[in-house]
Chain A
Amino acid sequence: MADVSLRHVGKTYENARATTIEDLSLDIRSGEFVVLVGPSGCGKSTMLRMIAGLEELSDGQIWIGERRVDELEPRERNIAMVFQNYALYPHMTVAQNMSFGLRLAGMARPEIRRRVEEAAEVLDIAGLLDRRPKQLSGGQRQRVAMGRAMVRDPAVFLFDEPLSNLDAKLRGQMRAEIRRLHKRLKATTVYVTHDQMEAMTLADRVVILHGGRIEQQGTPQELYERPATRFVAGFIGSPTMNFLPAEIVMTDAGPALKLGEATVPAPVAKAEALAERVGQTVEIGVRPEHFLADGDPSFSVVVDMAELLGPTTLVHFTLAGVACSAMLPPERAAGEGERQGVSIVSAWIAIFDPATGRAL
């Protein structure tokens, strides 16, 4: 286990189309599970590859524990990496795949065998040690890739979208497996994904990257409840947040948000900031689950489409000229073409400056 520190790291490519990372700093505590998440091309894999030593830095430094590692070879960094396509050596058996690094390091055979067997036991692949990768299923290959990383007993585990090649059911199982493994090994882990659900369920801390810089970082709950920017608000959460234009108005009860003909009380926590902007238009963000169908509805909308998801119904409608979706209890959701009364939980409304996209 070791801390990982990225200090003013930069990466520029001659090829201008590629992602550029500028002056990025990030500290990962020993034993922490950090997930780097963001859309394609945001620089998350580049960051991971720079930590691994597979990509050179243009600027800055990377430290693992007490050592500066950015000029060291990958093998000298005491890291292990699990790749998106598993990168198992096709001509080697599972046992040979797992032990290749240890053999190169000159470890004694009995110790290699002990480590391989122990990792295989933990990952439930003990019966597959003599098979070759092409004889394994996707999930089994994934376990072997994790086993190969485990036997090295590295200071830092790096995962590069390891679940993206698996089907949804297996992805869920492997997510739990990785989380369980992390609890057991307590190793510092940096995990890259474009799937926000994976990020939310696995991470101690989520780092959201956008255009080669950190958009926001925090616990999954912090990011979900208090997105710092419109981008983060839209990226985190499924179904995605609804964004609506609203005018700030002053009422007897304090600042409020006017959406079309209706007015919604502003969140109390933001009353002070909104009082200075009365008359201005802002963009508000409402998560689908923060629409309510009970009590005194603020809006009456026509349902365009209703999707039963089991415990909830996802109702699609148009509000203030914008297509919205709300998660409502099935017994309270109206059918397609019918009128639906909805209100908004004002405490959870996110408010963004339309010019900068930053939360107020």
Chain B
Amino acid sequence: MKTHPLRRTLFVALVILLILCCFLAPYAWIVASSFKNQLTLFNDVTPLSWKAFLPVGGTVENYRTLFERTNVLTALLNTAIVAGGQVALTLLLCAMAAYSLTRVRFPGAKIVFVLILLTFLLPIEALMVPLYQVVSGLGLSNTLLGVMIPWIASPFGLFLLKQAFEDLPSELEDAARIDGAGHVRIFFSIILPNVKVPMLTLGLITFLFSWNSFLWPLVIVQDPAKQLIQVAIAQQGSPTQLPNWGETFAGATVATLPLILLFLLLQKYFTQGMTTSGIKG
């Protein structure tokens, strides 16, 4: 039996819409709740009503309290510095390591690569204590540099870029060598401009990872003036009181907004990079 093309399209659109709603509902709820007071926020949820997802009877009180009482702006700036620095250093370090492992012949290159990849398997929680000891030993505890530095040597980044470098024909490098370029010139003038998409992908992933990190900044930073956004939001209420969920959601909204903007700007590269590198989420 043949299905009518219009009916088929409508059905597909409906399914996509349903999936989209499932994904967007939590975010809509967070944003809507950030404009409500503690009472209306829960009244809309039990029993669940459509009002839960819309800022009905909205108030900006939560935002006013958030910006007045907490250091959320400082935390946002700190997070931006850490995430930006982490992106720049991760790209540089991973790209140089990937170039060495794919283009410079040296004995044991494969073993080095496997050893680096093995570190990928270690859970972050298992690394916390030794990392804290190393970073403190370096005198970087309670600093923004201390927050970013353990994560710049990313095995995932190395893997992603190594794959990208391997896809570049080696003749490009041969031609550059004949043209008179050395390793540094080849790296910056020939290799890097041709792996823009994987570099942007890694940059975006690193930024997301850094922006959303909670446990490590909580461990390594004690000074509230140097705190990062996720920790700042979690710590905004008093430990002796029930959390003010409206304020918490306002904080979550503020923290998520830059990420959404960044993703909207770079989504083309992000999806392109994910598909060409064969790494699908």
Contacts and interface: CB of A to CB of B under 8 A. Distances in A.
B174 A100 contact: no
Interface string A94-107: 00000011001100
Given A84-B171, A104-B185, A74 B190 contact: no
A187 to B, nearest CB: 15
Interface stretch (A85-93, A166-174, A196-204, A260-268): A85-93
Interface string A59-90: 00000000000000111000111011101111
Number of contact residues on B: which range applies?
Answer: 10 to 19
Contacts of A80: 178
Contacts of A152: 179
Interface in B165-188: 169, 171-172, 174-181, 185
A85 B169 CA distance: 9
A125 B156 CA distance: 43
B178 A81 contact: yes
Contact of B175 (A53, A87, A91): A87
A176 interface: no
A74 B185 contact: no
A75 B193 contact: no
Interface residues of A, number: 24
B136 interface: no
B171 A83 contact: yes
Contacts of B176: 89, 100
Contacts of A74: 174, 177-178
A342 interface: no
A109 B181 CA distance: 18
Contacts, number: 56
Nearest to A100: B179
B59 interface: no
Contacts of A83: 171, 174-175
Most A C-beta atoms less than 10 A away, residue of B169, B174, B178, B194: B178
Nearest to A152: B179
A75 B174 contact: no
Contacts of B194: 89-91
Interface string B142-176: 00000000000000000000000000010110111
Contacts of A54: 174, 177-178
A179 B269 CA distance: 45
A90 B181 CA distance: 16
Ordered nearest first, which 5 A-B pairs have the shortest CB separation? A101-B179, A75-B180, A87-B171, A87-B175, A104-B180
Interface of B: 169, 171-172, 174-181, 185, 190, 193-194
Interface of A: 49, 52-54, 73-75, 79-81, 83-85, 87-91, 100-101, 104-105, 148, 152
24 contacts: A49-B174, A53-B177, A53-B178, A54-B174, A74-B177, A74-B178, A75-B177, A75-B179, A75-B181, A81-B174, A81-B178, A83-B174, A83-B175, A87-B169, A87-B171, A89-B194, A91-B193, A100-B176, A101-B178, A101-B179, A104-B179, A105-B180, A148-B179, A152-B179
